[in-house]
Amino acid sequence: MALRLFSQKGFKGTTIKDIAREVGITEGAIYRHFRSKEDIIEHLVERITGEIRELIREEVLTKKDIRKQVDSLIEVLINYAFDNPDAFRFLTVYHILRENGRNGKLPGNIIIQLFREAYAGGKLAVSPEVALSLIIGSVERLFILWELGLLKMQREKLIEEVKEVIEKALFDVSDSMRTG
Amino acid sequence: MALRLFSQKGFKGTTIKDIAREVGITEGAIYRHFRSKEDIIEHLVERITGEIRELIREEVLTKKDIRKQVDSLIEVLINYAFDNPDAFRFLTVYHILRENGRNGKLPGNIIIQLFREAYAGGKLAVSPEVALSLIIGSVERLFILWELGLLKMQREKLIEEVKEVIEKALFDVSDSMRTG
Amino acid sequence: MALRLFSQKGFKGTTIKDIAREVGITEGAIYRHFRSKEDIIEHLVERITGEIRELIREEVLTKKDIRKQVDSLIEVLINYAFDNPDAFRFLTVYHILRENGRNGKLPGNIIIQLFREAYAGGKLAVSPEVALSLIIGSVERLFILWELGLLKMQREKLIEEVKEVIEKALFDVSDSMRTG
Amino acid sequence: MALRLFSQKGFKGTTIKDIAREVGITEGAIYRHFRSKEDIIEHLVERITGEIRELIREEVLTKKDIRKQVDSLIEVLINYAFDNPDAFRFLTVYHILRENGRNGKLPGNIIIQLFREAYAGGKLAVSPEVALSLIIGSVERLFILWELGLLKMQREKLIEEVKEVIEKALFDVSDSMRTG
DNA sequence: TATGAATGAGCTTTCATTCAT
DNA sequence: TATGAATGAAAGCTCATTCAT
């Protein structure tokens, strides 16, 4: 997959020939499907952010209260990352690099709204941006450690632990007692 | 600085000519100071990880208990990132991209030991890897939001909030009450 | 032909652009046929030594006695040199220069065996190495003189004269009388 | 010596820095002694052809008859080549390569006159150009074999054998009997 | 529609030469 | 006079893109 190449070698570091070989067609044929290298990248971003957005819409937004939503978000993100490592890594690289002055459409946009409402309603003890960073940042770092082979934990256990930790971080204890 | 270029455009995406122009010398002159482009990158990594490692040694490792160490670590990381945005961004890019099969020397190596000891001693309610990811990941994401202008909060306030949140996440409440 | 360039300007002195212009294609296209400049040189060496080796096998090795073989060798070498001046000159340059520490495969290897056998069998009055040097060295020098326009003689006459001279040099007179 | 570098790596293949390092001074200092790289080469050619010309004048031209002169020439050439391998090799490379369209001043110019006179006087059975090529070419080839370690013979013995062979090649037997 | 040879701009690196010290 | 950093023009090579087949 071109994803693997882009996410490991960068955008300039991946050549059309690399991609053609990986996909099993020839250089020229690629230009039947995409107008340019840049176009390939944009399509990939679109696809991946679409997938994640869809998962969030189906799994996260359907939950009723903010705690369940956070739990679900963590589960969705970790599962997506570990099931689609190249895609997840690709997205991270895309967001960090600004090779062409792109202004990365963060898929967090849908989520931030959730946190804003919860924060406004007093159901979140932490400012929305910090909450979002806590979740996404943690997952990203854990993913890197996992890829480096430094994370021996089983996935189910990992998800549980992260849920627990994030819950403690984001919500008041009293609140937790009331709900729990 | 070459840092800015590398961190924004990637390693392949940054040309020697770019760097020369930025630094104000000619292309040829660069090769009197560095043997190759790769050499430039290695020197930058060395310098930045050295700086951060030094700060951690001076500020974090000198604290007595794990809570103070975590507080200090958060402060050091956020301050370094916001004071040296290009350097911090550079390091992030370096760790994610594997253009040449490099095995990024994560500066987190010194910190993980801290968490391992605290975890073994029962002073940390969370596994070391998750604790590390929580802190570093959050800071990285907050930094990205800040760079995108999506984080209006004042730095002092941000540090306080992150400290508070991480503390809740990492340590037991009872524990917190005893110490507090 | 790239041969002409390499043989006149040396290996470092001949640029890919030079070759491309000479051959009538662009620089990039060259790399579809050869992996590197070094690769071009190796192919040329292979081709020329192959051609000469083939000629020697067909013309020289098929002769019965050593005198006829020497005559044939002189004829083959002079004809090849004068018919393929660039190739012959190229080979000479290749053998003398050691730009990359190459250990030139001298095509003389096949011939030296001939002389060794003749020498061992008492049919050659001169040590094999000297005999070989006499023939190849003379032809090389005559070729240089010819290229500089200092050799007005007709080719046929030249071949005859060289044959005569070399024969006198290599074989005993008595021997000569017996055979002649 | 710069001679070694030029003769082994070619003119373009040898850098000013190479030469500076070899000679033990700095790049800039070279330009106090020579105007350019080309200038260095010309000086070297001048020196070496001068040395050989001088040897020929002293050793060869002072002999009375053509046979003694040929013997002496062989001795001078072989001794010079084996005592100054870099210089001899340099000259060979210089004569073959035409990097800048130079028209190599062959030091053979002085000798050819000798042969012309002998040929005109009936004392030489071979045309002057062939005679010259025979001697110089043989020595050059023998030198290459020697450098490649393919010539085990002792120098004195080599000189004797070459003298003998060349004598047989260049002069009539009857003539030889008369003189010998 | 697919191929892959060719293009040509641009990249990293080298190097003869200059010049401030 | 000697040094060696800097210059800047190539050099070898790569690669996104085009196009004849």
Structure-token match 């040590």, residue found: C127
What is the mean predicted confidence (pLDDT) over C92-110? 68
- CA gap C44, C34 in Å, rounded: 11
B157 phi and psi, to 5 degrees? -65, -40
What is the mean predicted confidence (pLDDT) over A126-135? 95
CA-wise closest residue to C7 among D10, D132, D140: D10
- CA gap D139, A35 in Å, rounded: 66
Check if the beta carbon of residue B163 is closer than 8 Å to that of residue B78. Answer: no
Angle at D166 between CA D164 and CA D170, to 5 degrees: 120
The pLDDT of residue A141 is above 90: yes
Residue ranges per domain, chain C?
40-179
The pLDDT of residue C149 is above 70: yes
Residue D57 identity? R
Distance B91 CA to E13 C1' (A): 26
Distance C9 CA to E13 C1' (A): 22
Q: Which residues of chain B have pLDDT under 50?
A: 103, 176-180
Counting Cα atoms < 13 Å in the Cβ hemisphere of C32 gives 6
The pLDDT of residue D101 is above 80: no
Q: How far is C171 from chain D (nearest CA, A)?
A: 9
pLDDT of residue C109: 77
pLDDT of residue B169: 94
Distance C22 CA to F21 C1' (A): 26
Residues packed against strand E, CB within 7 Å:
A 25-29, 31-32; B 12, 14-17, 27-28, 31, 36-38; C 25-29, 32-33; D 12, 14-17, 27-28, 31, 36-38
B32-to-B20, B37, B39, C125, C156 alpha-carbon distances in Å? 12, 12, 12, 61, 60
Nearest nt to the CA of A37 via C1' is: F16
Check if the beta carbon of residue C145 is closer than 8 Å to that of residue C151. Answer: yes
Chain D: list its partners (3+ Cβ pairs within 8 Å). C
Say what angle helices C66-83 and C128-147 make with each other, to 10 degrees. Answer: 30
pLDDT of residue A178: 46
Nearest nt to the CA of C32 via C1' is: E5
pLDDT of residue B1: 75
Superfamily (CATH) of domain C40-179: Tetracycline Repressor, domain 2 (1.10.357.10)
- C97–D contact, CB cutoff 8 A: yes
CA-wise closest residue to B47 among B10, B86, B82, B73: B86
DSSP-assigned letter for residue B59: I
pLDDT of residue C164: 95
SS (H, E, C) chain A: CHHHHHHHHCCCCCCHHHHHHHHCCCHHHHHHHCCCHHHHHHHHHHHHHHHHHHHHHHHHCCCCCHHHHHHHHHHHHHHHHHHCHHHHHHHHHHHHCCCCCCCCCCCCHHHHHHHHHHHHCCCCCCCHHHHHHHHHHHHHHHHHHHHCCCCCCCHHHHHHHHHHHHHHHHCCHHHHHHHC
pLDDT of residue D95: 85
Question: How many helices and strands, by DSSP H and E, does chain D display?
Answer: 10, 0
Q: Do C127 and D153 touch (CB under 8 A)?
A: yes
The pLDDT of residue A43 is above 70: yes
Nearest nt to the CA of B30 via C1' is: F6
Band of pLDDT at residue A175, cut at 50, 70 and 90: low
- CA gap C24, C5 in Å, rounded: 14
For strand E, which nucleotides have at least one atom less than 7 Å from a protein CB?
1-20
What is the mean predicted confidence (pLDDT) over A51-70? 95
pLDDT of residue C97: 84
Counting Cα atoms < 13 Å in the Cβ hemisphere of B156 gives 0
Q: Which of residues 104-123 of A touch B (CB under 8 A)?
A: 106
